[in-house]
A and B are shown apart, each in its own frame.
Chain A
């Protein structure tokens, strides 16, 4: 059974760096991609970026300069780091894993991140 679980700090101060972890069970990261998506409170979904099965990455150009996605395949973990956080980065952050036919085939439950001093 495929499961994804996001973890990280619930509160981050403005201008600081956000670090999140997505722990994936059920399949190898070398076989499937993992994306990060975020959702500000009461708003829609924003695709942030993806780390492909070969380790390559693609990012949303709107946040590319602040974002880094990496992984540790031995631990089945994918990491998101985003710097220079502002209040508008307050959101629920989701990771999603590829399935047979769709890039965002399995979703985690999300982790809420609030940017505030």
Chain B
């Protein structure tokens, strides 16, 4: 199985700040990397697919990049609704695996 190592596990940040979350795969995943947001009420929605493509309706302050084994999610200027959990996920090979999550918290 491909292991996904996500960092940091917790990220205190302020409104308007730029933040980056990292995700490293245990082997190359050829850009087959997606990002999800989970709100405190448990609701999960996709943000980015195939490394850098924004899901419909997702604000442009979200962006993704990476290649090979290293990927990242960047939020350019934090809004109040961005404080949530974030997960990366690979769908390059079965079983599809998730990172352990990053909790984006208000500083």
Closest A residue to B36 by beta carbon equals: A104
Which of A7-15, A17-25, A56-64, A70-78 is the interface stretch? A56-64
- The count of chain B contact residues (Cβ–Cβ below 8 Å) is 23
B55→A44 contact, CB < 8 A: no
Q: With the chains together, A102 CA to B45 CA distance in Å?
A: 11
Any A CB within 8 A of the CB of B34:
yes
- Contact mask B27-54 → A, CB, 8 Å, 1/0? 0000000101000001111100110010
Is there contact, CB below 8 Å, between B94 and A107? no
**B43 partner, pick from A59, A96, A104, A109, beta carbons under 8 A:** A109
What string of 1s and 0s marks CB contacts (under 8 Å) between B75-107 and chain A?
A: 000000000000101010011111111000000
Decide if A107 touches B96 in the complex (CB within 8 Å): no
Residues of A close to B99: CB separation below 8 A: 44
Interface residues on A, range: 20 to 34
CB distance from A1 to the nearest CB of B (A): 13
A102 to B32, CA, bound (A): 10
A115 interface residue (CB < 8 Å to B): no
Asked if B98 and A44 make an inter-chain contact with CB atoms under 8 angstroms apart, the answer reads yes
Question: Which residues of chain B from 46 to 67 have any CB-CB distance to chain A below 8 Å in the complex?
Answer: 46, 49-50, 53, 55
The residues of B with any CB-CB pair to A shorter than 8 Å are 1, 34, 36, 42-46, 49-50, 53, 55, 87, 89, 91, 94-101
* Given A35-B96, A99-B46, A104-B36, 6 further pairs, Cβ under 8 A: A44-B100, A44-B101, A60-B94, A102-B34, A104-B46, A107-B45
A: residues with CB less than 8 A from B are 35, 44-47, 58-62, 92, 94, 96, 99, 101-105, 107, 109-110
